[in-house]
Structure 1
């Protein structure tokens, strides 16, 4: 069993269920995982249901079942390695590859491929050995992984302190009028669909994305995205929020109606490597799917 104690701050003003509070405000686990693993829940020392609303000053005591152990069996998965030394491996993650095991994807992940490629130092209960940050399944591009725990902590700290610099390329729907801009808000899970994220007036987490339009066509734009934060689905939510969803996005756009897969690619990452004095920059060339769509858009323009 795993025990947690939380306190709802006195200035908390949102009316939320306790499962929403634990998932969205605390960020412990998803509501679905909470429902599956909750063993005991008390609010102010009284038994409570996950649907109970929380109030400022409430004390929450949560007991969770220990998650089932996942046996990680190395799998031969092709890896496009951009850089490697004795501490890190930088890969160009292809579209469609899940980064680490999760419900619905317990095999065939990048983690399984890394374990096959070489031994990665990890704790016994670590289901994500080497993984420092992640990319969505349908997002391709640069991803750095650690070979040992010390390197993992060193790299993770830079993401937490927001000292890394990332550039993404995307093709978005519509010809964008402004050449540069930014989207800044707070992102939280949607009340209508818990798999989606949206801008919220209260709660959530701060999110900031800057963008620059590099090329325009009649019905689309080629855009460079500079995320200052790393929230789940941040770039996809932000581009939709300004009326230009990323082409091929099945969650925040028209998806299959666009006639292409998600046109989002992590192009570059600047980060300090363990033991290095300066910043390293890694780049992943645009995948062929971008060239195909760009040629199609150029032909339409003509």
Structure 2
């Protein structure tokens, strides 16, 4: 059979097949890819992860420090994968065999309450994992307030759930929030410590007496301000119910939109609180995993006029 130039061109234009490797020993995903794709640059390999072209056992992975195990299959797609979004704008930031990390929108409960059982992150994620296998489950390991947006993590198996829940305070190395609060703070950075208690009406409040409640410690830094509002970077040393909201009230600068604790303004149409960072030590590998999101645009938009300045 004689091949024409057209036949040769058509064959040359045919899409290249996906590549698949079988893992023979435990490794970090990036190290594995750099070894297998030795003719590619480090930036090229990272781009494959960013563009959702790498999957492990059929699950798209974007986190370069994911630990892969012997027998797993790593597939590299020739085309970029779609960004996964659940209904209600529930973004999946990261997923592997043990964890799912999402960017929870404000207004969505983390788990069911007495008044709401269906519209929760837990239910949406349960539906998501069951599309692959009806036997799949997820397990809550921490939560965010309904009106707080940001990083929320769930376990995909009971082993990971127990490991995280039993050692949460030891494993979590950093929890960062960005908050819009009322007014200008005289002290541009500080550390707030109190002991939190709960009333019969489920309101939290601070006691200055050591041991009179659960110890709560909040660190803050002003990163921008206007005549009406301040934008804070907040780092938690403890993770108590409504901790940031109570501590901001204690210093006279309520989180905006926090009617429950006495805020007078609501410029964002929502609670001005977003969990932007979560870092923790993986309970089985001891590797530090870190997830971050940007502050909502509506937060930073409040500080774009000429009256703003960077906080110290």
Q: Considering the TM-score relative to the shorter chain, is it more than 0.5?
A: yes
How big is the alpha-carbon RMSD for the aligned residues of Structure 1 and Structure 2?
2.5
User: Quick check: 238-247 or 281-290, which moved more?
Assistant: 281-290
Q: Assess, with a 3 A threshold, how the Cα gap between structure 1 residues 259 and 109 changes in structure 2: closer, same or farther.
A: closer
- 8 A contact 2:172–2:281 mirrored in 1: no
- 8 A contact 1:247–1:253 mirrored in 2: no
- 8 A contact 2:184–2:227 mirrored in 1: yes
Partner SS state of residue 118, structure 1: helix
How far did residue 194 of structure 1 move? 1.8
TM-score by length of 2: 0.64
- The structure 1 residue matched to 2:110, chosen from 91, 99, 108, is 99
- 8 A contact 1:214–1:224 mirrored in 2: yes
Partner SS state of residue 140, structure 2: coil
1:293 partnered with 2:302: yes
Counterpart of 2:12 in structure 1 is none
- Specify every segment of 5 or more residues in structure 2 that has no aligned partner in the other structure, as ranges: 1-85, 132-136
How far did residue 158 of structure 1 move? 3.5
Counterpart of 1:30 in structure 2 is none
In the alignment, the residues of structure 2 paired with residue 113 and residue 253 of structure 1 have an alpha-carbon distance, to the nearest angstrom, of 32
Q: Assess, with a 3 A threshold, how the Cα gap between structure 1 residues 291 and 212 changes in structure 2: closer, same or farther.
A: closer
Counterpart of 1:249 in structure 2 is 258
Counterpart of 2:21 in structure 1 is none
In the alignment, the residues of structure 2 paired with residue 130 and residue 290 of structure 1 have an alpha-carbon distance, to the nearest angstrom, of 31
Q: Assess, with a 3 A threshold, how the Cα gap between structure 1 residues 118 and 77 changes in structure 2: closer, same or farther.
A: farther
Counterpart of 1:4 in structure 2 is none
- The structure 2 residue matched to 1:228, chosen from 206, 212, 237, is 237
In the alignment, the residues of structure 1 paired with residue 117 and residue 87 of structure 2 have an alpha-carbon distance, to the nearest angstrom, of 15
Q: Which protein is bigger by CA-based radius of gyration?
A: 2
In the alignment, the residues of structure 2 paired with residue 224 and residue 76 of structure 1 have an alpha-carbon distance, to the nearest angstrom, of 29
Counterpart of 2:92 in structure 1 is 81
Q: Assess, with a 3 A threshold, how the Cα gap between structure 1 residues 257 and 118 changes in structure 2: closer, same or farther.
A: closer
- 8 A contact 1:77–1:108 mirrored in 2: no
How far did residue 161 of structure 1 move? 3.3
- 8 A contact 2:279–2:289 mirrored in 1: yes
How far did residue 227 of structure 1 move? 1.0
Q: Assess, with a 3 A threshold, how the Cα gap between structure 1 residues 289 and 253 changes in structure 2: closer, same or farther.
A: farther
1:185 partnered with 2:197: no
- 8 A contact 1:76–1:117 mirrored in 2: no
TM-score by length of 1: 0.66
1:115 partnered with 2:123: no
- The structure 2 residue matched to 1:281, chosen from 276, 290, 295, is 290
- 8 A contact 2:175–2:278 mirrored in 1: yes
How far did residue 256 of structure 1 move? 5.5
- Specify every segment of 5 or more residues in structure 1 that has no aligned partner in the other structure, as ranges: 1-74, 121-127
Partner SS state of residue 259, structure 2: coil
Counterpart of 1:198 in structure 2 is 205
The number of aligned residues is 218
Residues 182-241 of structure 1 show CA distances to partners (whole Å, capped at 9, x for unaligned) of 110100013xx6221101246321111111111121121111111111110000000110
1:153 partnered with 2:153: no
Counterpart of 1:266 in structure 2 is 275
In the alignment, the residues of structure 2 paired with residue 196 and residue 162 of structure 1 have an alpha-carbon distance, to the nearest angstrom, of 28
Partner SS state of residue 294, structure 1: coil
Q: Assess, with a 3 A threshold, how the Cα gap between structure 1 residues 218 and 78 changes in structure 2: closer, same or farther.
A: closer
How far did residue 257 of structure 1 move? 5.1
In the alignment, the residues of structure 2 paired with residue 301 and residue 283 of structure 1 have an alpha-carbon distance, to the nearest angstrom, of 25
In the alignment, the residues of structure 2 paired with residue 101 and residue 259 of structure 1 have an alpha-carbon distance, to the nearest angstrom, of 25
Residues 117-174 of structure 1 show CA distances to partners (whole Å, capped at 9, x for unaligned) of 1049xxxxxxx94110000000000111100001111222342436431010001111
